[in-house]
Amino acid sequence: MTTLFTILFDGVAYGMLLFVLACGLAVTLGLMNFVNLAHGAFAMTGGYICAVLVNNQGWPFFAALPLAFVTAALVGVALERTLYRHLYTRSHLDQVLFTIGLTFMSVAAVDYVMGSSRIFIKLPAALEGQFDFFGVGIGRYRLMIIVICGLLTVALQLILAKTRFGSRLRAAVDDPRAASGLGINVPQVFAFTFAFGCGLAGLGGALSAEILGLDPYFPLKFMIYFLIVVTVGGSSSITGPFLASLLLGIGDVAGKYYVPKMGPFVIYTIMIVILIWRPNGLFGRAAAR
């Protein structure tokens, strides 16, 4: 019974991490129908920035996290303004080719600068180890992830639901043409959202170094996970990707625990079954209009 709770706990932490990593992608997709396979590269950027600051410059971990966010967001906005925006009207094939190209370049570049082995970020002692909670082992680091990501999720939900920017964004995702007819500057909303999504990915990358592992191949290894989150979750709201992330996280942890030899098999099987059952994703809107 307690292992079940531990698995659930670890799975939730993993899932929330995936959500922070991938939610930017869901919005990009919903807003501009843009397939950004290079999303993982932004996460990797954040992760490496954090690692360099903490390990080499001696920054405290929590001071480095915001900088991971900011750097990834800046890289995101720079690329969006210079390159990405030329591709919104292109075919999905072009978008796929372009973003795979960017991913490959980022992988090779990081490999060149930082080396190909996995790196670890030195954590403050307070985050290491685990404590016992009614017989359930609770990892401190994972608990922190749940807290941070949980707060972020609530904040995102509030921004989307309560603020002026949120309502503009929702209108733009719902129907970009109608939204621009209403005087909403869709490209601007998009640029901002894109940068924010990249920032979140960067933060996620920094947080995930401990759990997912950080090496130059990160964007390729986790590409499929991001795709699962957005296809299973749908891109019409952030609730869908959130639930999909949790499902994926718990499924993956449980699968690795109970049938370790089948490894990633469990996740792919779940994904395929879901897509047979609901081709538009579990929480996606039906193909109307």
Partner 1 sequence: MTAASDVSSHAIARARWRPAEIAFWILALSCAFLFPSRYLIMTDILRLALFTLSLDLILGYAGIVSLGHAAFFGVGAYSAGLLALHGIINEPVIALVAAGLVAMVLGFLTSFLVIRGVDLTRLMVTLGIALLLEALAERFSNITGGTDGLQGIEMQPILGLFAFDMFGKTGFFYSLIVLFLLFLLARRIVNSPFGLSLRAIKNNPLRASAIGVPVNRRLIAIYTIAAFYAGIAGALFTQTTALASLDVFAFERSADLMLVLVIGGTGYLYGGLIGAVVFKMLQELFQTITPQYWLFWIGLVLVVMVLVGRERIHRWVLWVPNLVIRQLFGRKAVVAVPESDAP
Task: Please give the residue ranges that form the binding site for partner 1 (CB under 8 A).
Answer: 29, 35, 37, 83, 86-87, 90, 92-94, 96-98, 100-109, 111-112, 220, 223-224, 227-228, 230-231, 261-265, 268-269, 271-272, 275-276, 279-281
User: Nearest approach, Cβ of 263 to partner 1 (angstroms)?
Assistant: 6
CB 1 within 8 A of CB 238: no
The nearer residue to partner 1, 203 or 212, going by C-beta atoms, is 212
For partner 1, the closer CB: 130 or 280? 280
Q: Spell out the residues 6+ positions from residue 57 whose beta carbon is closer than 8 angstroms to its own.
A: none
Residue closer to partner 1, measured from CB, 87 or 211: 87
Per-residue H/E/C for 183-236 = CCCHHHHHHHHHHHHHHHHHHHHHHHCCCCCECCCHHHHCHHHHHHHHHHHCCC
Measured from the CB of residue 33, what is the shortest distance to partner 1 in angstroms? 9
Dump strand ranges (E) for the chain.
130-133, 136-139
Number of neighbours of residue 223 by Cβ within 10 angstroms: 18
Least distance CB 168 / partner 1 (angstroms) = 24
Minimum distance of partner 1 from residue 148's CB (angstroms)? 28
- Closest contact distance (angstroms) between CB of 169 and partner 1 is 20
Query: Minimum CB separation from partner 1 for residue 158, in Å?
Result: 28
Q: Decide whether 72 or 271 has the Cβ nearer to partner 1.
A: 271
> In angstroms, rounded to a whole number, what is the distance separating the alpha carbons of residues 94 and 158?
35
Do 196 and 24 contact (CB within 8 A), yes or no? yes
CB of 224 to partner 1, least distance (A): 5
| CB-based contacts of 32, cutoff 8 Å, min separation 6 | 88, 176, 190
- What 3-state DSSP class applies to 131? strand
118 or 221: CB nearest partner 1? 221
What b/e readout covers 250-261, taking b as 16+ CB neighbours within 10 angstroms?
A: bbbbbbbeeeee
Q: Which is nearer to partner 1, 100 or 138 (CB)?
A: 100
Nearer to partner 1 (CB atom), residue 4 or residue 96: 96
